[in-house]
C-alpha cells in the first residue's frame, strides 16, 4: 500500500506522514512547486524531514499551470493579500491525484488541521478543496481524521482510524507532543511559507500585472531585489545582497536588460524598453547603492550599451519609486 502526501516541509505534514508510515504504508512526500514559496532554499530541510520519518521526497513543478489556472482567476477568491488559498490547495490535490496511477499510490494525505486556519481550514473550506480537486474519499487528513468523515482508506481498512488523531483548532500542544514522541529534530516553527500571503509581495504582483502579463520567467524578478517603478514606466530591480545579486545575474528574461558596473555594488535589471530618461535615473540610483569612495563620471553597461553619468542621487531618492 502506498500514499502520496502533500508535503510543505512543515511539522504538520511531517507528522501526518509519520502517522501513516507507522501503519506500514509507504509514503511519497510530494512537494508542489507553485513558484511562490520562500526565497530561501528549503530543499535540504525538506529532504531532512523526509529522512527522519522514512518518506521518499519528490517535487512537482506546476508554476506555469498555477499562473494560468489559479493565481489570477481563483473560484473562491483571495485571502487578505494575493493568496488564493482554497483554489491553491485544490490545485495541489488535483495534481497529486494525477500522479497516483503513475506512482502506484492508492490515496492521498495532507497535514491540514480542522480549524487551525479560520479561513482556509474550516470544515466548509476543506470540503471546497475536495470538490475542486475531485478527491472526495481519497484524501485523508491524519491529524484531524477522527473529527472528520471516514475516508476510503479508513473504510477499506487500509488505515486504522483509531491510530489517527483528533486535533481541532489552533492550539499546537498535541503536535508538539507527537514531535517529541517521534523524536523529530530541526523542524520549523509554524509560519507562512507562501509569499502570496505577504502584503509587500502582493503589491509587487499587482504592480507587475498593471504593466505586463506574467509568465514563469517573471517570478524570480519579483522575488529578489528592491523593486522600483520609474517615472516613465520602466521596472528597475536592485540587488540587496550577495544572494540577490547571484540570482539576478543568472536571470535570462527578454523583458529585462542587465546593468553592470566595475564598482563594488549591486547587480541590477531594467525593462528592455526603458526610456532614456528612466535609464539615466536607474544609473544614478544604482551608483547610490554602490560602495562609496569613487568620484567623477562612471560608465555603466546596460546590456551592450554604455551610459556615463555622475553619482548625484542618494538612496533616499530611490525610496519614492519603491513598489
pLDDT reading at 118 higher than 80: no
Residue 168: alpha-carbon gap to chain centroid: 26
Domains and CATH numbers, the chain: 2-182 (3.40.50.620), 224-319 (no CATH)
pTM of the entire predicted model: 0.89
pLDDT reading at 273 higher than 90: yes
In angstroms, rounded to a whole number, what is the distance separating the alpha carbons of residues 202 and 221? 14
| pLDDT score recorded for residue 303 | 96
| pLDDT score recorded for residue 86 | 92
Average pLDDT, the chain: 94
Sequence-ordered list of residues with C-beta below 8 angstroms from that of 246, at least 6 positions apart, any chain: none
Strongest mean pLDDT among 22-36, 107-121, 192-206 = 22-36
In angstroms, rounded to a whole number, what is the distance separating the alpha carbons of residues 107 and 187? 25
What is the tens place of the pLDDT at every residue in 41-81?
789 999 999 999 999 999 999 999 999 999 999 999 999 99
| pLDDT score recorded for residue 175 | 95
pLDDT reading at 121 higher than 80: no
Task: Return the sign of the alpha-carbon dihedral for residues 189, 193, 199, 204.
Answer: positive
Nearest C-alpha neighbor of 114 from the set 147, 138, 139: 147
Do residues 241 and 282 touch, judged by C-beta distance below 8 A? no
In angstroms, rounded to a whole number, what is the distance separating the alpha carbons of residues 43 and 78? 27
pLDDT reading at 163 higher than 90: yes
Amino acid at each position: 500500500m502506498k500514499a502520496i502526501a502533500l508535503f510543505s516541509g512543515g511539522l504538520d505534514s511531517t507528522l501526518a506522514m509519520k502517522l501513516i508510515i507507522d501503519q506500514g504504508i509507504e509514503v511519497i512526500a510530494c512537494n508542489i512547486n507553485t513558484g511562490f514559496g520562500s526565497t530561501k532554499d528549503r530543499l535540504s530541510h525538506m529532504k531532512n524531514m523526509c529522512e527522519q520519518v522514512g518518506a521518499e521526497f519528490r517535487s512537482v513543478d506546476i508554476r506555469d499551470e498555477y499562473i494560468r489556472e489559479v493565481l489570477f482567476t481563483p473560484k473562491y477568491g483571495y485571502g487578505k493579500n494575493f493568496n488564493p488559498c482554497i483554489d491553491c490547495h485544490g490545485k495541489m490535490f488535483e495534481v497529486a491525484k494525477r500522479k497516483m496511477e503513475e506512482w502506484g499510490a492508492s490515496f492521498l494525505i495532507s497535514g491540514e488541521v480542522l480549524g487551525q486556519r479560520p479561513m482556509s481550514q474550516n470544515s466548509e473550506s476543506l470540503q471546497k478543496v475536495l470538490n475542486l480537486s475531485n478527491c472526495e474519499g481519497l484524501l485523508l487528513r491524519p491529524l484531524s481524521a477522527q473529527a472528520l468523515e471516514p475516508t476510503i482508506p479508513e473504510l477499506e481498512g487500509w488505515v486504522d482510524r483509531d491510530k489517527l488523531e483528533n486535533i481541532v483548532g489552533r492550539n499546537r500542544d498535541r503536535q508538539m507532543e507527537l514531535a517529541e514522541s517521534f523524536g523529530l529534530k530541526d523542524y520549523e516553527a509554524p509560519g507562512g511559507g507562501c509569499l502570496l500571503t505577504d502584503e509587500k509581495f502582493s503589491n509587487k504582483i499587482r504592480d507587475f500585472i498593471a504593466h505586463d502579463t506574467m509568465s514563469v520567467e517573471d517570478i524570480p524578478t519579483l522575488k529578489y531585489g528592491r523593486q522600483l517603478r520609474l517615472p516613465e514606466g520602466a521596472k528597475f530591480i536592485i540587488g540587496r545582497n550577495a544572494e540577490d545579486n547571484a540570482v539576478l545575474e543568472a536571470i535570462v528574461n527578454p523583458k529585462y536588460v542587465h546593468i553592470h558596473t566595475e564598482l563594488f555594488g549591486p547587480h541590477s535589471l531594467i525593462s528592455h524598453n526603458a526610456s532614456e530618461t528612466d535609464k539615466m535615473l536607474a544609473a544614478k540610483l544604482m551608483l547610490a547603492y554602490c560602495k562609496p569612495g569613487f568620484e567623477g563620471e562612471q560608465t555603466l553597461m546596460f546590456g551592450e550599451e554604455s551610459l556615463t553619468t555622475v553619482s548625484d542621487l542618494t538612496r533616499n531618492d530611490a525610496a519614492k519609486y519603491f513598489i
